[in-house]
Structure 1
């Protein structure tokens, strides 16, 4: 661990680095997704599980950072800090999605040019709050909670988990929290194994079925991360960043298990990954020692860009998806140079957003919110 100037506590640089690794894999997932025909043949097949990993990391970090501060911190102070941390990039991500909206014309979004400007701006303003838009405001046609920037759905559930933590679950004993986590694990495994596609993918549509998916995907990892922060006693593990990065890449790049005939087998794989492997990765990462200056800089860079990258990449992906849908039959061989360009562009945009927007705005908010 090393010291963070923004906090009185030491933090875990390897966990920062792992967040960045997972964010980059999310981008590669979204770049290979439109080249597949469905759940079975996407090249980065389990890339969406990075969201579940983010939830677990978030629960761990929230518990570590705030559990012992409630005697001198109000619920209001907690929410101010979370808004200051999360909201500036939400606003930028929605703004970028709005800027690109009318330019992502495609056969898969025939409605885009029929959407009046006022409706698009209304969706953007609602997006700034991270509250989901109703299906009547689905201006893209994909039934997304946030049609201007698809990834906003996970931030909505992140806030719900933060609210549940602050208003009550933070007071749970280890035993009570363990029972909650066990029930959430059973619900998650049930969802994964019994879902028609044999996976946990979903949560971005404002209807009962998808909201259930979103809640189920949030409750176990976030509160398992919280429990882990309370019970884990990190040791000292060498090369942890390398091994943890390889492990998370292995889990997320794993091809589909079981095929179309045995989709439940994939559900078992995802259950094991989320319930057991992800907590193990976080524990190993928290136990890891940064051994060189280079490794420290890599972890810092990846941690710094992870959240901005998650929020700014999808407005770029919309252009890429439109290009693929307008040119039927494009293969991975033809698409990869453009995909690589989007990936590099997203990383550059994320870093620029961090330095020129996110950090200055957060400093300003910190002064304003006290």
Structure 2
């Protein structure tokens, strides 16, 4: 049975909760430079690096037919497993997003169907985003490619990574892998310099930057796994969480900000992966925290943004006092976290278990039947 990297799971949670807090502070800080987590959008690049590592760990041997646990995993079986893992929470996030958009009580007619947009356009956008495809943006939503649930633009990139990995990773030799890592790192540097930062890819004006942000960290994460690069650290989860928070909370660096952010993705995040993979099974309270943070990371990340828009529109329309604003922000943070935990325990886990039993058993029987016909 494969080992599980609980420290890396916990770091995913650290990054997800940082993104959530970053989006709250976006509404409260007068300027981006005054956001105490102004670089927290780099959590997205860290997620991509984690994905490269985790996919390699979970599927490299199985797709290549070298796994001791059973026969070679088919490409169809791989894609089905990834769909079961990711898409149930996407459905919930999209439903929350569309309900929040239509019923938002703080925007007047700005989002009303029949005034600013047609029902057909709303349904088209919802349908495309439900499939994680880019869609026409919605009024009042800042030109996002995935306006029903903003963070899902990264899931679209994640699906692209899964597709390419399933098709080509077993044949990706080390020399070509190194060349692609170098080329994608150069592309990331040029993109960061062009924009002055890496907080791009979510809107139609800079949509082309999204696959650039995906390619470099994903390939580096896969390289870290395949090279068996490990760094042993005591209290790895705590120390590495502090490293990530130090990156996210770093001050503005003026004209060198783009270089700092690119260096974090190209150099620092692979080192964090190496150190996080050095401690496979943390014990005691630290292990429990890692597992809980890892469990909450995906649902918190994917469902929080509709609540951010409601919070923003309430704040902008009612102009509450600072104590009231702080109290509501804290209540939202805790409430969404509890909502994410409930979704994980009572929806996502049971549904994925059921889908795995039904779909994967059917897929296994189909594979056995096909092999019987060939023999």
Offset of residue 38 of structure 1: 4.2
Q: Name the counterpart of 2:59.
A: 66
332 and 25 in structure 1: CA distance in 2 versus 1, 3 angstrom threshold: farther
Unaligned runs of 5+ in 2: 66-71, 361-375
In 2: Cα distance, 1:221 partner to 1:152 partner: 18
363 and 139 in structure 1: CA distance in 2 versus 1, 3 angstrom threshold: farther
Q: Name the counterpart of 1:35.
A: 28
Encode CA deviations 1:74-128: one digit per residue, 9 max, x unaligned. Answer: 1111100110000000011001111211233445982445244454343322222
Match of 1:237 among 230, 233, 237: 233
Tell me how many residue pairs correspond in the alignment. Answer: 351
Give me the TM-score of the superposition, normalised by structure 2.
0.88
Structure 2 residue 16 is the aligned partner of structure 1 residue 14: no
Offset of residue 333 of structure 1: 6.0
Q: Name the counterpart of 2:260.
A: 269
Encode CA deviations 1:175-229: one digit per residue, 9 max, x unaligned. Answer: 110110111111111111221xx101111224xx522210110000111101111
Structure 2 residue 230 is the aligned partner of structure 1 residue 228: no
Q: Name the counterpart of 2:80.
A: 80
Q: Is the 8 A contact 1:111 1:140 kept in 2?
A: yes
Q: Name the counterpart of 2:212.
A: 216
Give me the TM-score of the superposition, normalised by structure 1.
0.89
Offset of residue 290 of structure 1: 4.6
Structure 2 residue 308 is the aligned partner of structure 1 residue 312: no
Match of 2:16 among 14, 18, 23: 23
Offset of residue 336 of structure 1: 2.5
In 1: Cα distance, 2:8 partner to 2:54 partner: 9
Structure 2 residue 129 is the aligned partner of structure 1 residue 133: no
Match of 2:292 among 301, 306, 331: 301
Offset of residue 359 of structure 1: 0.7
Q: Name the counterpart of 2:348.
A: 358
In 2: Cα distance, 1:42 partner to 1:182 partner: 32
Offset of residue 295 of structure 1: 1.1
Unaligned runs of 5+ in 1: 1-7
In 1: Cα distance, 2:317 partner to 2:34 partner: 21
Q: Is the 8 A contact 2:39 2:248 kept in 1?
A: yes
In 2: Cα distance, 1:108 partner to 1:190 partner: 42
Query: Helix, strand or coil: the match of 1:339?
Result: helix
Structure 2 residue 352 is the aligned partner of structure 1 residue 349: no
Larger Rg: 2
CA RMSD of aligned residues (A): 2.0
In 1: Cα distance, 2:326 partner to 2:216 partner: 35
